[in-house]
Structure 1
Amino acid sequence: MSSAELKSLLADCAPDMLLAVDPTDLEIRAANLVALEQLGYKESELIGRSILSVDCGLADVMFWEELRNGGKASCEGMEGIVQRADGTLLAVTKSVHERHGWLVLCMRDVSAAKHRNNEVAQLTARLRATLDATFDGILVLATDGSIVNMNARFAEMWQLPDALILARDDTQLFAFMAAQAQDAVAYRERLEEIHPYDEADSFDVLELSGERVFERKSRPAMQGKQITGRVYCFTDASARHAAERELVAARDEAQAASRAKSEFLTLVSHEVRTPLNGVLGMAELLQSTGLGSEQKHYLAAIRSSGETLLGMISDILDYTNLDCGRVQLDQSIFEPRDVVEELREKFTARATEKRLSFRVEIAPEVPAAVCGDRRRFTQILTKLLDNAIKFTDRGSVEFCLKVAERADKRVHIECQVRDTGIGVAGDRLPKLFQPFVTADNSLTRRHTGTGMGLALCRLLCAHMGGDIAVDSAAGAGSTFHCRLPFDLPDPATTRVSGAVSNTVPVAGASRPALIVEPDTARRELIVAALASIGGFQVRVAADALECLEISSQDPQSLIFIASSMHGLDGNGTARALRAAGCRAHIICTGDDAEGAHAAAVTAGADDFLAVPLTGRAVRCAVSRWQNCDSAACA
């Protein structure tokens, strides 16, 4: 066969490397251009060279030697290594065929493919290592729901036996998993809802036996835009869910303890304050009898100590309720000037006892009526004035009420209490509004107190949407600034709580009054107060039923009802009286709890008096009903 024919033959088989080898001496007789280019030889260098210098792998050499010795003259797709002209090696696949007495060697460069295969193998190994090192269990399903892959963590989490994994029986494996669910039916139904070909992600929580909890997330496996299956990720959330259950249990336990503490404090305070109120009430009645100067002195000490103790109990309870968020503000219309006048009367006597100048100023722009919590407003001002007089031994105490800001339907009232007392050192100012902190905290302090007053003021101001601050220096007195927001009532509908009655008494007439009060001390105090006013025919009812019976037979002008009674309580009694058409002026008495005043008014009462009752408070309540001059409260 001529050289031209050989070249033509080789060219017909391109693009692979083609060599024609003489079977007798294994020398290369012809090569195509691809062979020359990839092997790096010139044609003159390659022609006549032994094939063993090119196809140099040990197996290759043995193969060619076998051919020269008359062995089988063909092979197909055998892997081998050839040496290029520069000495580098090239991985190839080769085929050898006998054609017209020549050995035709066809070789294809597979080094790039081998490199890619190696990369794929390395990537696969890294992916497998990553999956096996992942803390979550991974399960991959095909679109037909069959298992494609899983990692070791998945098998560990689901406690899959090796035999079950090796069996590659998907049905048995899924059944084994479902058997571990607390609700196997719901588990299977949920699994069927999440089809492998769905595009949406999914998340659910699996509750398994042994208090195990798995969080299951899944999303579709994509190849381009085509869904090829679904990947599930299982996270063992047992520890976290157990911790959450413990936290919930601890929270519930803490809330139960808080409720128990609150109920205990309420019970204890009621049980302590009830007899204490009786002591103070009887002391007030005793004061109006003919006592000697020494007896009056002792009685004053009893009242002072009792009021101090009662104030401490109330402060601690109020602070506890405020701190726990169990306080609801009352929204009723009241007159700020009335509050200030009551405080002026109360603290003028105390200031006079200490020979202090006491001045009260109300700015003319202060509105006549505002809507808010009168009780809390009074409580804050009382605490500030009480502290000012307590810590001032000489000089003066000044109280100013003015408007800080005003809008169409809202006003911010600023209260200033200035004294020339002991003041507060700079290092103690940041802690002054904390509980149980006093301006004088030394063991030899001369001023008593629990340190709850200012802490209570801070909480009350914050709860009402206001703020409180102080300017002070040791030995230079103090100025407290309290700013509180109030709504402005509609002038056309303004009605001050307790100022309007269901009946209008006739001056000089004898009016029937009924008292429903199981506490003996409070009952006698009310009787004495009405007697001091005069003009009342007083009857006493043992309980709500007797009250309703008397009222139906003998219409009353004035009825005092205790909030706490056996059977029907005070609010229930007020509702029953109004339902029966009673038009008497009803005054409820009871603990100064949050919402008690509003609840009583809602039930049908016209006024509410908080215990401990005083004769003055009863007389003022009757005075409000009678719409008399404030001198009647004296």
Structure 2
Amino acid sequence: MQPHADSADGVVSVSVTVEICKIIPKMLDLIKSTFHRFFAPKQDDWHLLFEQAPCGVALVDAPTGTVRSVNGHFAQLMGCSPASLRQAPWSTLARSVLRPGETQAAEFLTQQPLEKGSRIHQLLRSDGVQVFAEISVMATLPDPHGKTVCVLMAKDVSEQLLAEEKLRVSEQRLRLLTDSARDVVWTMSPLGEITYVSPAIEQLRGYTPEEAMKHTIDETLTPDSQAVSLQYFVDVAAALQQGLPPPEFRNELEYWRKDGSRFWTEVLAFPVMGANGSLVEILGVSRDISQRRLYEDSLHQARERAEKANAAKTEFLAHISHEIRTPMSAMLSLTDLVLATPLDDQQRVLLNKSKSAGRLLLGIINDILDLSKLEHGKLELAHLPFDLRDVLQQVSDLVGQACASKGLHYLVEWAPEVHPHRLGDAQRLAQVLLNLVGNAIKFTERGHVRVSVRHAFSAAEHAHLRFEVQDTGMGLAPQLQAKVFEGFVQGDDAYTRAQGGTGLGLSICKRLAQQMGGDVGVESQVGVGSTFWFTVRLPLSHAGDDQKRDAQGLQAADQVQGLRVLLAEDNLSMRGILQQLLELAGAQVAVAENGLVAIQMLGEVRCDLVLMDIQMPVMGGLEAARRIRQNPAFHDVPIVALTAGGFNEDRDLCLEAGMNDYLMKPFEYKDLIEVLQRNAPSQRAQR
């Protein structure tokens, strides 16, 4: 049907060419062939056909314009009974049901004689109901008496017109949306031809819709995006060939503009399928994402700059670590050597203070390095069996003197249901405890410091433990509690600043606790005290393993005596100090100033263990270790690295080069003895 407006008299009249009924041509043939039966005595067959026609039928006498007969459908459409219509003048009847103002419709239906044709008319029935009806003058036939009869047919098309109007409004609404949308809406035929482009294309590419529809894929997309687009058509064809629904398309494509520039779009495309399962078209939407891509590129560049800055920071920390740790190692080692000689009380006090200051400086360096490792996710935790009581005793030994000097009571509370044998990193656990206990002692002038241990959740969930450090100190203001675990945060009064420190300790505690599967927190009241707590996950271990390890450690105490050590160290001062420390432990020492000399000496002197500095002139420790391992004669000789680097990468490089262990500078005398014991040939054979 094709609607058109008739506004001659200001009233909209819709004319639609409608095939009223597919059987109408057959009906006309039947009417012509059986018309004479209408006047015959027996009319049953004719009336059956007449009444059961799927549309309204009326017979009008051509010369007089009088209605001879109507079927039920026609009468219902007019809103009258069939009897009331018979013998009525057709022109009067037509004017009575036509909607007022339909002048052209009235002329068509009341002209004399009636001419063939078809129009849609708006009728106002006698019952007040308005309907749209298509009334057609189909044929003029002669009757047996020599008179002519006009055949009129009518069909109610109200619902059909209403559906068409809804479709027209919907199409108009869709057109308005696509025409006003900032995104480009387009359709494409199965052959890849653009069949529609919304006006937004002109803003996007600089072409009118008509111009854009004529473009080939080469003129539309950049080469890389062409390949992506063509692959989609291949995927669609493959899906259709297999009888599967074709896939949707969602990707980012780069388009050409009219000025030759490029820009990125996000493209969504959806296959539109016909009733028979064939592909009718592809409906797509393209959105300009140039600004988003620029933003993403700027973020990517910013991330790269940040990564480079972090890498530079890491490199700087590694370098400064080496530069500071080497002389500090000499200072602490020299202090240990002097403390091993006869001294008067004042000298011993001064030397111990010097050593404490060195340890404090070392702690600050370690805090900075630990924070950097935690930020980069490079701090690895040990997963070894240990006795929780040993950790608490170690903390007590280290803080006992500080508590006593301030007159504080140091208390430890242990929940009886907590099993002492655990798996984890005892050193890092002690580090967190020492930091919290140290802070508690630092800011408490009277009263006590209490450390308590219990299950974090319940006795059934025994892996998570909760540690609390409670003091009767100065307390924390609420605003400081919220940020005390941030890096470089300290109190803002003169007393707090006078206590020293970097402000990193609690930040490191938080990160360590989180890395150990827990968290940290604080509860505090100014003038009353604070309770710092943390939780960690420490699974149970077998006590027998700890006891066996302890027994082996005691047996290894004699392994350093008589151990033949080859020491490779380029720093003359450090080399002399290390030699004295080794000899103090009972080892026999041969020295080399670089890695190349150490390799040569291995072939000249008998050696049980090599102590190798990493950074040396001529040949560094890593290259020397690789060459030593290439010689089958020295394949099993233990090599211990001396490194001032504070990162896991330094340790990994040592192990990859073939070294067995490493000792980080600065170290104390006991650290040196432990690493020698751990790698002595007889001790290694027991492991």
In the alignment, is residue 76 of structure 1 matched against residue 117 of structure 2? yes
Aligned to 2:264: 213
Q: State the alpha-carbon separation in 2 of the partners of residues 335 and 600 from structure 1.
A: 30
Letter in structure 2 aligned against 1:555 = R
Q: State the alpha-carbon separation in 1 of the partners of residues 592 and 378 from structure 2.
A: 34
Aligned to 2:169: 122
Letter in structure 2 aligned against 1:329 = L
* Paired residues for 1:302-317 under 5 Å: 303-317=355-369
Distance 1:407 1:489, change over 3 A: farther
Letter in structure 2 aligned against 1:553 = E
The CA deviation string for residues 38-80 of structure 1, in whole angstroms up to 9 with x for no partner, is 3344645662536255256533555678746xxxx63233555
Aligned to 1:108: 154
Q: State the alpha-carbon separation in 1 of the partners of residues 222 and 206 from structure 2.
A: 10
The CA deviation string for residues 239-277 of structure 1, in whole angstroms up to 9 with x for no partner, is 344433333333233222222222233333433444444
Q: Is the 8 A contact 2:385 2:545 kept in 1?
A: no
Q: 1:16 aligns with which of 40, 56, 62?
A: 56
Cα deviation for residue 542 of structure 1 reads 0.4
Q: 1:547 aligns with which of 583, 598, 614?
A: 598
In the alignment, is residue 565 of structure 1 matched against residue 604 of structure 2? no
In the alignment, is residue 59 of structure 1 matched against residue 104 of structure 2? yes
**SS in structure 2 opposite 1:553?**
coil
Cα deviation for residue 106 of structure 1 reads 1.2
Q: Is the 8 A contact 1:52 1:61 kept in 2?
A: no
Q: Is the 8 A contact 1:332 1:497 kept in 2?
A: no
Q: Is the 8 A contact 1:409 1:487 kept in 2?
A: no
Aligned to 2:286: 235
Q: Larger deviation: 348-357 or 359-368?
A: 359-368
In the alignment, is residue 459 of structure 1 matched against residue 511 of structure 2? yes
Cα-Cα RMSD:
4.9
Q: 1:28 aligns with which of 66, 71, 77?
A: 66
**SS in structure 2 opposite 1:518?**
coil
The CA deviation string for residues 147-183 of structure 1, in whole angstroms up to 9 with x for no partner, is 6655445687566545557xxxx8x544565565545
Aligned to 2:26: none
Q: Is the 8 A contact 2:468 2:534 kept in 1?
A: yes
**SS in structure 1 opposite 2:305?**
helix
Q: Is the 8 A contact 1:526 1:618 kept in 2?
A: no
Aligned to 1:258: 310
Q: State the alpha-carbon separation in 2 of the partners of residues 497 and 437 from structure 1.
A: 44
**Gap runs ≥5 in structure 2:** 1-34, 682-687
Q: Larger deviation: 237-246 or 568-577?
A: 568-577
Q: State the alpha-carbon separation in 2 of the partners of residues 368 and 603 from structure 1.
A: 38
**SS in structure 1 opposite 2:634?**
coil
Distance 1:601 1:106, change over 3 A: closer
Cα deviation for residue 291 of structure 1 reads 8.1
Q: Is the 8 A contact 2:246 2:271 kept in 1?
A: yes
Q: Larger deviation: 235-244 or 583-592?
A: 583-592
Q: Is the 8 A contact 2:66 2:90 kept in 1?
A: yes
Q: State the alpha-carbon separation in 1 of the partners of residues 626 and 387 from structure 2.
A: 27
**SS in structure 1 opposite 2:245?**
coil
Letter in structure 2 aligned against 1:59 = Q
Cα deviation for residue 606 of structure 1 reads 6.4
Give the number of equivalent residue pairs.
612
Q: State the alpha-carbon separation in 2 of the partners of residues 537 and 177 from structure 1.
A: 82
Q: State the alpha-carbon separation in 1 of the partners of residues 86 and 60 from structure 2.
A: 11
Q: State the alpha-carbon separation in 1 of the partners of residues 461 and 134 from structure 2.
A: 94
The CA deviation string for residues 377-421 of structure 1, in whole angstroms up to 9 with x for no partner, is 342233234324433445555667789899999966665655554
Cα deviation for residue 190 of structure 1 reads 3.9
Q: 2:642 aligns with which of 589, 603, 611?
A: 589
Q: State the alpha-carbon separation in 2 of the partners of residues 541 and 470 from structure 1.
A: 53
Aligned to 2:236: 194
**SS in structure 1 opposite 2:382?**
coil
Distance 1:489 1:563, change over 3 A: farther
In the alignment, is residue 94 of structure 1 matched against residue 136 of structure 2? yes
Q: Larger deviation: 547-556 or 34-43?
A: 34-43
* TM-score (ref. length: structure 2): 0.71
Q: State the alpha-carbon separation in 2 of the partners of residues 611 and 548 from structure 1.
A: 23
Q: Is the 8 A contact 1:513 1:536 kept in 2?
A: yes
Aligned to 1:373: 425
* Paired residues for 1:190-589 under 5 Å: 190-195=232-237, 199-205=245-251, 206-209=253-256, 210-224=261-275, 226-227=277-278, 229-239=280-290, 240-282=292-334, 303-332=355-384, 343=395, 345-354=397-406, 371-394=423-446, 417=469, 419=471, 421-424=473-476, 428-438=480-490, 441-445=492-496, 446-469=498-521, 473-476=525-528, 478=530, 480-484=532-536, 485-486=538-539, 488=541, 491=544, 495=549, 499=553, 505=559, 512-533=564-585, 535-566=586-617, 569-570=620-621, 573=624, 577=628, 580-581=633-634, 587-589=640-642
Q: Larger deviation: 489-498 or 458-467?
A: 489-498
The CA deviation string for residues 496-531 of structure 1, in whole angstroms up to 9 with x for no partner, is 799499997596x6x543322223443333233235
Q: State the alpha-carbon separation in 1 of the partners of residues 462 and 637 from structure 2.
A: 35
Aligned to 1:609: 663
Letter in structure 2 aligned against 1:194 = V
**SS in structure 1 opposite 2:362?**
helix
In the alignment, is residue 38 of structure 1 matched against residue 77 of structure 2? yes
Distance 1:486 1:244, change over 3 A: same
Q: State the alpha-carbon separation in 1 of the partners of residues 414 and 125 from structure 2.
A: 110
The CA deviation string for residues 195-235 of structure 1, in whole angstroms up to 9 with x for no partner, is 39562222243333344334444444345564351332233
Q: Larger deviation: 85-94 or 248-257?
A: 85-94
Q: Is the 8 A contact 1:383 1:457 kept in 2?
A: yes
Q: Larger deviation: 577-586 or 546-555?
A: 577-586
Q: Larger deviation: 50-59 or 379-388?
A: 50-59
Distance 1:471 1:598, change over 3 A: farther
Aligned to 2:39: 5
Q: Is the 8 A contact 2:318 2:646 kept in 1?
A: no
Q: State the alpha-carbon separation in 1 of the partners of residues 518 and 108 from structure 2.
A: 101
Q: State the alpha-carbon separation in 2 of the partners of residues 248 and 441 from structure 1.
A: 38
Cα deviation for residue 541 of structure 1 reads 0.9
The CA deviation string for residues 120-164 of structure 1, in whole angstroms up to 9 with x for no partner, is 433333343344445554444566666665544568756654555
**Gap runs ≥5 in structure 1:** 628-634
Q: State the alpha-carbon separation in 1 of the partners of residues 321 and 401 from structure 2.
A: 29
Q: Is the 8 A contact 1:335 1:496 kept in 2?
A: no
Q: Is the 8 A contact 2:406 2:446 kept in 1?
A: yes
**SS in structure 2 opposite 1:589?**
strand
**SS in structure 1 opposite 2:513?**
helix
**SS in structure 2 opposite 1:260?**
helix
The CA deviation string for residues 331-379 of structure 1, in whole angstroms up to 9 with x for no partner, is 4556666656655554444445545566779999998975533432342
* TM-score (ref. length: structure 1): 0.76
Letter in structure 2 aligned against 1:435 = G
**SS in structure 2 opposite 1:108?**
strand
Letter in structure 2 aligned against 1:589 = L
**SS in structure 1 opposite 2:360?**
helix
Q: State the alpha-carbon separation in 1 of the partners of residues 670 and 131 from structure 2.
A: 116
Cα deviation for residue 18 of structure 1 reads 1.8
Q: Percent identity?
A: 24
